[in-house]
Amino acid sequence: MAVTRPIRSDHRTTSPALKIRAATNQDLAAIFEIERLAFTHPWSLDSFVRELSLPFSLTLVATLDRPGEPALAGYLCRWLVADECHILNVAVHPERRRQGIAERLMAAAIAEAIAKKATIVTLEVRRTNLAARGLYRKFGFEERRLRRNYYGPGEDAIVMELKL
């Protein structure tokens, strides 16, 4: 099984100090801080606590080992149910954006989905979030349909899919 399109590389590179691992309860405060900085309508802390307890949910974190920088650079939350991986949320700390961290998190989630025999990865993205849509297209995601007002009045979502 392979991703339908190879990932294009670009000029950005992440630090070799960046590590991707499963989140733990000790990461919740930092995850919630990134969530609050990244989104106008953030998830609650209880939502993240719940995600850590669900057997089909996994939250990945990207961590750095550099003094003076946020230790937790970003996170990705996904569900893996039957043969489908659904990406619920991806966010990177504002001080660490545009450095390939979201790309590394997505690559890890897709690799895990392939290893667990998923056949499709899905997600919703704001229609206006051109940067995220571009990132997902790098992985071969295709825009499939529109969900009107998904994020609230006037905030449409585009459903994107990657067939594995």
> What is the spatial distance between Cα 80 and Cα 37, in angstroms, rounded to a whole number?
26
Domains in the chain with CATH codes: 19-163 (3.40.630.30)
Query: Which region, left, alpha or beta, applies to residue 145 given φ > 0 means left and ψ of -120 to 50 means alpha?
Result: beta
Average pLDDT (63-73) is 76
Asked if the model's pLDDT at residue 6 lies above 60, the reply is no
Could you give the C-alpha distances from 55 to 80, 81, 142, in angstroms and in order?
9, 10, 28
Note the pLDDT of residue 11. 37
Give the pLDDT confidence of 115-157 residue by residue, as tens digits. 999 999 999 999 999 999 999 999 999 999 999 999 989 999 9
Please state the pTM of the whole predicted model.
0.87
> Other C-beta atoms within 10 Å of 130: how many?
10
pLDDT of residue 7: 41
Active site residues: 124, 136
| CA atoms of 152 and 162, how far apart (whole Å) | 25
Question: Among 154, 153, 160, which residue's Cα sits nearest to residue 90?
Answer: 160
Confidence class for position 78, pLDDT limits 50, 70, 90:
very high
pLDDT class for 1, splitting at 50, 70, 90?
A: very low
Tell whether the model's pLDDT for residue 37 goes beyond 80.
yes
Q: What is the pLDDT of residue 71?
A: 85
Rounded-to-integer distance, Cα 152 and Cα 164, Å:
31
Each residue's pLDDT tens digit, 11-32? 344 555 789 999 999 999 999 9
